[in-house]
């Protein structure tokens, strides 16, 4: 596999494009919005500069990485030579189904179609295409250039061959792939989101303040970020959407989102990206 198309140039999409391009893959980065594409290249350049400053990347490798990325505003143009497409669009089922229908139509029939979804069913996405055996989840973690994990999610129809190819490909990116099956939240978010939700309940019930909750988890459990800071980092709207998938998918009230989370999202306090969540960002 050499030609990789990445759909969506937001936080996850630009990180995924960065990592593939750095490992000598030819990346077609696709977004409907040219301004978003240009901003993604600026972000990738900034993150490559951090690596150069640290001495883990040379200036030549930085230039080669940027040269490996081509920008497109049309899916049809951006996927026609793809061996693999990684979709990293907004977490919205209708949008993802629309994109996968187009990927199935415009990409080579042999191409593997992967989704970076954090919780939407791979099986349901695969069913909209005519190649369910070649549809798989490739869930990267934020920040993509730093985090080692790729959660590889097998849908109901995903073949052994597709899974094996994606496991090997993830290793070629110096990541550690872990294979899991397609059930709500997969593994990462099935475990992470109840912890974040419980931290929000702890705040909501007045057991402790934001600083205290995060400090207990940071210093007591050696987590790099406390759960409330992590929720801000992920996006409170994203946390809410994932909890809803868990709640509906299992029909179990233990996943019901805390009313404080629901209120904060409704009020537009979505975390770092909106300037305020549990913390303020300037």
Where is the binding site for NAD(+), in residues?
8-13, 31, 91, 96, 118, 142, 273
Helix or strand run (H / E) with residue 191 = helix 188-204
Q: What gap in Å lies between CA 249 and CA 280, rounded to an integer?
A: 33
Nearer to ligand CAA, 54 or 94 (CB): 54
Q: How far is the CB of 139 from ligand CAA (least distance, A)?
A: 6
Pick from 143, 209, 268, 275: which binds ligand CAA (CB under 6 A)?
A: 143
The region that residue 48 occupies, defined by phi over 0 for left and psi between -120 and 50 for alpha, beta otherwise, is alpha
Token pair of 152 as six digits: 């590889």
Token pair of 168 as six digits: 């090997």
Pick from 19, 230, 236, 241: which binds ligand CAA (CB under 6 A)?
A: 230
Q: What gap in Å lies between CA 133 and CA 152, rounded to an integer?
A: 14
Instruction: Please say if 151 is a catalytic residue.
Output: yes
Within residues 1-40, the interface with ligand CAA by CB under 6 A covers: none
Within residues 110-139, the interface with ligand CAA by CB under 6 A covers: 118
Within residues 165-224, the interface with ligand CAA by CB under 6 A covers: 188-189, 224
Pick from 126, 141, 152, 213: which binds ligand CAA (CB under 6 A)?
A: 141
Instruction: Please say if 159 is a catalytic residue.
Output: no
Contact 108, 78 (CB under 8 A): no
Could you tell me the strand order of the sheet in which 26-30 lies?
Answer: 69-72, 26-30, 3-7, 84-87, 112-115, 135-140, 149-154, 176-181
Within residues 144-163, the interface with ligand CAA by CB under 6 A covers: 145-147
The span from the first CA to the last CA of the chain, in angstroms, equals 42
Q: Does 47 bind ligand CAA (CB under 6 A)?
A: yes
Q: Does 66 bind ligand CAA (CB under 6 A)?
A: no
Which entry of 189, 197, 247, 276 is annotated as an active-site residue? 189
Contact 249, 184 (CB under 8 A): yes
Instruction: Please say if 189 is a catalytic residue.
Output: yes
Q: How far is the CB of 109 from ligand CAA (least distance, A)?
A: 30
Which entry of 151, 170, 197, 276 is annotated as an active-site residue? 151
Token pair of 244 as six digits: 């809803």
């Amino acid at each position: 596999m050499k030609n990789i198309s990445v759909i969506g140039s937001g936080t996850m999409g630009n990180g995924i494009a960065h990592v593939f391009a750095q490992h000598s893959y030819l990346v077609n980065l696709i977004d409907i919005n040219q301004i978003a594409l240009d901003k993604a290249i600026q972000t990738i350049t900034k993150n490559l500069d951090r690596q150069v400053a640290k001495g883990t990347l040379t200036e030549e490798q930085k230039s080669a990485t940027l040269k490996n990325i081509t920008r497109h505003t049309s899916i049809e143009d951006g996927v026609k030579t793809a061996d693999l497409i990684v979709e990293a669009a907004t977490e919205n089922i209708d949008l993802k189904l629309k994109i996968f229908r187009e990927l199935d139509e415009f990409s080579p029939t042999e191409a593997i179609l992967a989704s970076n979804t954090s919780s939407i069913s791979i099986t349901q996405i695969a069913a909209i295409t005519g190649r369910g055996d070649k549809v798989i989840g490739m869930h990267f973690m934020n920040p993509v250039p730093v985090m080692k994990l790729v959660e590889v999610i097998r849908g109901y129809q995903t073949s052994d061959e597709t899974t094996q190819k994606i496991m090997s490909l993830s290793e070629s990116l110096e990541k550690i792939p872990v294979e899991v099956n397609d059930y709500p939240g997969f593994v990462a978010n099935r475990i992470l989101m109840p912890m974040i939700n419980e931290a929000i309940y702890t705040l909501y019930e007045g057991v402790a303040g934001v600083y205290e909750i995060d400090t207990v988890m940071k210093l007591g459990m050696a987590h790099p970020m406390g759960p409330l800071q992590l929720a801000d980092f992920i996006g409170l709207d994203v946390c809410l959407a994932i909890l809803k998938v868990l709640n509906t998918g299992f029909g179990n009230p233990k996943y019901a989102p805390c009313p404080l989370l629901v209120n904060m999202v409704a009020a537009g306090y979505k975390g770092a990206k909106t300037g305020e969540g549990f913390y303020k960002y300037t």
